[in-house]
Structure 1
Amino acid sequence: MRSGDGGVPVKIILAGSSHWHAGMHLDAARSCDAEIIGVWDESPDKAQAFASAHGLKAISTFDGVLKGGADLVVLMGHPSAVPARARQLIEADMPLMLEKPATSQTARLAELADLARRQNLFISVPLPNRFGPVFTALSDLKSADRAGPLAHAHFRLVNGPPERYAADGVAWVVDPDVGGGGALRNLGIHGVDAALSMAQGKLRLISSSIGNRIHTSPVEDHALLVLEDEAGALFTVEAGYTYASLKPGGDFEWRVVTSNATLIDRGDSALCATLDDGVSVALAPEPTATRYRLCMRDTLDKLARGEAPTISLNDYVAAMSLIDDAYGKAGR
């Protein structure tokens, strides 16, 4: 991936290297031939350790991020610190990729979105399942006028138990006062964002079941939302910490059904069946971990062309707001 000035590689700073997705963003940036010009973290020791492990330069202060000359800053970190850091970058007119959870408070996120709008600043949000094979195949069907009206869709993302975050050094993820919720806020936001992106008109929250089915964590380990759009399409979003493994991955399925097509993405496999020709074909799968590459490529493409990001801060606010409503409906 090259910038528009003579083929120079895009310069990226990774800010918040202790975030558990930092390695994925590094891999994504390198897959796009971007140049990582620095790594920063609230803990200088962690920034130095990450930099040393990957042959990168550590940045000792956040002022170094602001003045580092990056084309894009990937901002990650603790929700108590990220909003203030994001505000500094926005006020400095620094294009951003803002990793979640940026804050547990939707109102603070909305304030950042309003500031970015006034600054006319590019901010993308990495919700990479929007770049999976189901969305690509559905877009192709729509372009060929073969999709038909959407009937229903199910987005399931169930990972291992809550203690895996402690093992990753980010135990705060399951602290409700910090993360603002559990499996729904952390994992379910991918499905909620997917539903919002596909819905015709406003999404209505029909039911919200949120609870602790297995674990005694202070946050929910399972959630199931049922939603309907103005055209009558039904959406279900399922998220959980109930998969029986601490290893990466879990129970993942994105399923979309239209009047002419059924599309299913299970991470390691995907398919598309179409009624008009009676054909069912395997789609090229995309592992969930490497979808960050697709998200980064799209972000850099849009940034280079001066276009709005595919997934914006406003999309993030909309998903957070719907999740707020789901918690309220479930009495949590």
Structure 2
Amino acid sequence: MKIILAGSSHWHAGMHLDAARAAGGEIIGVWDEDQQHAKMFARSNSLRSIDRFDDVLAAGAGVILLMGHPRSVPGRARRIIEAGIPLILEKPAASSTEILSELLELTRQRNAFVSVPFPNRFGPAVIAFRKLQRQGRAGAIAYGHFRIVNGPPERYAEDGVPWMVDPGIGGGGALRNLGIHGIDAALDLAAGTLRLRTSYIGNRIHNSPVEDHALLVLEDEAGAIFTVEAGYTFASMRPGGDFEWRIVSANATLIDHGDKAISATLDDGAGTELTPEPTATRYRLCMRDTFDRLARNEPATISLSDYVAAMSLIDTAYRKARE
């Protein structure tokens, strides 16, 4: 699979480079709005830099991974879709849900392939739970808890993307940036419509324009409760922070902490340690799945409509918190 990494200055560019290589991709070029950054990134990784975005479109890529500033990404995504090239769209891809919805409409009109990386869909707890469901052993979901709490927002300035703490550009803070992964997990596991019951969003520690902590309580049509917690309140800048994916059903409990994961099932009294998958390397699984889908000419596992659904629910959470 020939792939171009468009947006080398995004803080996830290194993870996507690793993911593309691990998935067997042939990286045929690197591009960025900042040509010098693209050249430096390409040189340090033995890749070819591309100066003009027009040349990105003409390079013959089997898929383009687009990442960058939310105000410039939508226009470039539109050009990729109109050129008929499959797209992997990294977040944040727009400053508002409305702009993403317009892109989704174009995607539907063109029957375009657009995949969005939500790598925790490929975490060990989720994969093990889906296997139990296929075996008819999971039982109804009772509760899910999805927590991502990372270090303070100053880390974005260190990564060269200070606009992440500008609500007019990033569209919000910890909930929009980190909590969206938990929202996607709840939407993916929920039975029917997911309703927001409680929304707490605040800034308790850092003097930042965006929230540093959020806690949501959601309920699906079957009565399952999902809580989503996101924050910039972990007292360290190290990667990983405080991470937990917990799924509890009638017959199973699965817990994923990134560096450790376990599964317990009532019907056989078993308790097992699952093979862990570090959160950073889950992008490899996401990329491999995207390549496989493209090779089989199948729709993306995680699509732009999933992204829009998560963004819309976050919009509702912000409104409810204000009220």
Q: What interval of TM-score do these two structures reach, taking the shorter chain for normalisation?
A: over 0.9
1:221 and 2:195 aligned: no
Which letter maps to 2:85? M
Which letter maps to 2:199? S
Tell me the CA shift for residue 330 of structure 1: 0.4
1:205 and 2:196 aligned: yes
Alignment-derived partner of residue 235 in structure 2: 244
Q: Any residues of structure 2 matched to 1:77-226 within 5 Å, and which? A: 77-226=68-217
- 1:222-270 CA distances to partner (integer Å, 9 max, x unpaired)? 0000000000000000000000001211000000000000000000000
CA RMSD of aligned residues (A): 0.7
Tell me the CA shift for residue 279 of structure 1: 1.0
Partner SS, residue 130 of structure 1: helix
Tell me the CA shift for residue 143 of structure 1: 1.3
Alignment-derived partner of residue 5 in structure 1: none
Which letter maps to 1:98? L
Alignment-derived partner of residue 38 in structure 1: 29
State how far apart, in whole Å, the 2-side matches of 1:170 and 1:53 are. Answer: 20
Alignment-derived partner of residue 321 in structure 1: 312
State how far apart, in whole Å, the 2-side matches of 1:71 and 1:116 are. Answer: 17
State how far apart, in whole Å, the 2-side matches of 1:135 and 1:41 are. Answer: 34
Alignment-derived partner of residue 49 in structure 2: 58
Tell me the CA shift for residue 145 of structure 1: 0.7
Alignment-derived partner of residue 5 in structure 2: 14
Alignment-derived partner of residue 263 in structure 1: 254
1:276 and 2:239 aligned: no
The answer for unaligned runs of 5 or more in structure 2 is none
Out of 35, 38, 41, the residue aligned to residue 47 of structure 1 is: 38
Which letter maps to 2:223? G
1:74 and 2:65 aligned: yes
State how far apart, in whole Å, the 2-side matches of 1:248 and 1:272 are. Answer: 25
Percent sequence identity is: 68
Which letter maps to 1:122? F
Which letter maps to 2:210? V
State how far apart, in whole Å, the 2-side matches of 1:167 and 1:298 are. Answer: 31
State how far apart, in whole Å, the 1-side matches of 2:259 and 2:137 are. Answer: 25
Partner SS, residue 330 of structure 1: helix
The answer for unaligned runs of 5 or more in structure 1 is 1-9
State how far apart, in whole Å, the 2-side matches of 1:143 and 1:192 are. Answer: 23
1:296 and 2:287 aligned: yes
Structure 1 consecutive aligned stretches of length 4 or more whose deviation exceeds 2 Å: none
TM, length-normalised to structure 2: 0.99
State how far apart, in whole Å, the 2-side matches of 1:157 and 1:303 are. Answer: 30
Tell me the CA shift for residue 20 of structure 1: 0.3
Which letter maps to 2:256? D
State how far apart, in whole Å, the 2-side matches of 1:271 and 1:280 are. Answer: 7
Tell me the CA shift for residue 313 of structure 1: 0.1
- 1:81-105 CA distances to partner (integer Å, 9 max, x unpaired)? 0000000101101100000000121
Which letter maps to 1:70? A
State how far apart, in whole Å, the 1-side matches of 2:59 and 2:14 are. Answer: 20
Out of 28, 47, 62, the residue aligned to residue 19 of structure 2 is: 28
State how far apart, in whole Å, the 1-side matches of 2:249 and 2:312 are. Answer: 27
Which letter maps to 1:135? V
Tell me the CA shift for residue 32 of structure 1: 1.2
